Structure 1
Amino acid sequence: MELECYPTVEAGVTPPDIVPGRQNRDWMDNFHARHAYRCLPMNMANTSGWEILCPMTFNAEWNGGIHQDDIRIWTDYPQPHLSRFAKSHFSHGVITMHTGYMFKTPPGWSMLAMGAPNHIKDGIQPLAGVVETDWLPFPFTMNWLFTRPGRVRFEKGEPFCFITLLQDKFLHDIQPVIRRLDSNPELANQYGVWEKHRTEFNQRIFRQDPEATKEAWQRYYFKGEYPEEVAPAREDHVNKRRLKEPTWRR
């Protein structure tokens, strides 16, 4: 399978870099002992797609108005291609950025375009969109919405868009069903054993038990394991994502 990325920038202009999603986040680094990285679902979300990086550093300021000219966008140094990359197009506090590519996905696969997961920016929110890129013959834009009047800054190399793929048409066939847990005895037993281990471990941490303090956290999900008396470890569990770098082809 291939994700085809066709640059749409004018001749002589380099399109924004696309890189596999990176795990690190500044706010996660700032946790004591980098505790936030113990959350495997966040790590996997951060790396389950590709980042499109800002080709330049720029500033944007919104005065709270509803018109296009109520957003001002500028760079610290002259950048002749700024207006082709970032602009106020939709008004109402929305910044529009051009990815620089038209994407083609395999049949049946759509593209989810959004902000990089768990990448936090104060004062502005990335908007998300699902695009049927298996047939679409033109590019889409990435948009950010100011959450209040003020100024924001995007650094060169910072992800302004995150893309990943999904087979969304199958969602129409899925029926959410709410059931009592005791209607599934096997699952209820697995949950009960996990809850017992979790409670006992937290009590040991509270008592400052040396072994529990040294262990610091339970790794059942991180290692794809059940509590030992329930079932063997999963063989299909993934705890590290290694996506491919884009490559140029004719």
Structure 2
Amino acid sequence: MELECYPTAERPPEIVPGRPQRAWMDAFHDRHAYRCLPLSMANTTGWEILNPIAFTAEWNGGLMQEDIKLTPDRPNPDFHNLVKSHFSHGVMTFHAGYLFRTPPGWSMMAQGAPNHVKDGIQPLAGLVETEWLPFPFTMNWIFTRPGKVRFEKGEPFCFITLVQDRVLDDVQPVIRSMASNPELREQYGLWEKHRSAFNKKIFQADPEAVKTAWQRFYFKGEFPEDAAEPPKEHVNKRRLKAPRLGR
């Protein structure tokens, strides 16, 4: 299975597998935030398109295109093709630099890098039918208030991942009582018991609990008290492939 990436620019931005590191996660004591496996997995479930030119964007709060000012740190002939004020209303537009083609049945989700927080501006997400689309899409950000924001060189301005979205139309959400699934209810009860007991010990500064620091049932793909067979395909580290040159 291939994700085909056709450059539409002479010097297209670099594409790299999603990286797990986040500055705000690094700032936690003992990097505690990385113990939340869903966060780390989201960070790496896709590819980052990296900003090649450091610049400052400023919005004065107006609704016109000219109300956004974009200033690169240094003059660069590619800058005007990378990012523009196109849609007005405080929306800034990046050109991804590629036309993507996905296998039949797969679409592309283009969004901001998961859990990559920027103050004053918000990435907008788009779902694109890249299995047939013969032209590229743009990546858009909307200011949340007037002011300046920085985009550093090497910072992700777009995050792409693939989804089989058409089958979602056939999915029927169903709300059921936990009592209707005794096996699941028992497993949930065991987890709840262990979780409550562990949190109580942490609150009481129990030395063993403090040394353990966190429960690893989900991270390791295990059940408390071996309540069931562990999942055979549990993943706690994503290793996506970097793009390679094709013919």
Question: Quick check: TM above 0.5?
Answer: yes
Whole-angstrom CA distance in 1 between matches of 2:119 and 2:136:
28
SS in 2 for 1:36: helix
Whole-angstrom CA distance in 2 between matches of 1:206 and 1:119:
31
Say whether residues 1:76 and 2:73 are aligned partners.
yes
Whole-angstrom CA distance in 2 between matches of 1:240 and 1:147:
33
Whole-angstrom CA distance in 2 between matches of 1:103 and 1:56:
22
Which of 9, 14, 18 aligns to 2:11? It is 14
Structure 1 unmatched runs, 5+:
none
Whole-angstrom CA distance in 2 between matches of 1:99 and 1:149:
25
Q: Superposed, which structure 2 residues align to 1:61-210 within 5 Å?
A: 61-210=58-207
SS in 2 for 1:182: helix
Aligned residue number for residue 59 of structure 1: 56
- Please list the CA deviations of residues 94-136 of structure 1 after superposition, one character each: whole Å capped at 9, or x if unmatched: 0000000000000000000000000000000000000000000
Say whether residues 1:215 and 2:216 are aligned partners.
no
SS in 2 for 1:52: strand
Structure 2 unmatched runs, 5+:
none
Counterpart code for 2:168: L
SS in 2 for 1:34: helix
Say whether residues 1:247 and 2:244 are aligned partners.
yes
Whole-angstrom CA distance in 1 between matches of 2:205 and 2:71:
54
Note the C-alpha offset of 1:229: 3.7
Aligned residue number for residue 3 of structure 1: 3
SS in 2 for 1:88: strand
SS in 2 for 1:200: helix
- Moved >4 Å (runs of 4+): none
Whole-angstrom CA distance in 1 between matches of 2:66 and 2:159:
27
RMSD: 0.7
Whole-angstrom CA distance in 1 between matches of 2:162 and 2:206:
45
Q: Percent identity?
A: 70
SS in 2 for 1:139: coil
Give the count of matched residue pairs.
247
Whole-angstrom CA distance in 1 between matches of 2:202 and 2:117:
31
Note the C-alpha offset of 1:80: 1.3
Whole-angstrom CA distance in 1 between matches of 2:79 and 2:150:
14
Note the C-alpha offset of 1:147: 0.2
Note the C-alpha offset of 1:235: 1.6
- Please list the CA deviations of residues 27-78 of structure 1 after superposition, one character each: whole Å capped at 9, or x if unmatched: 0000011000000000000000000000110111000000000001111211
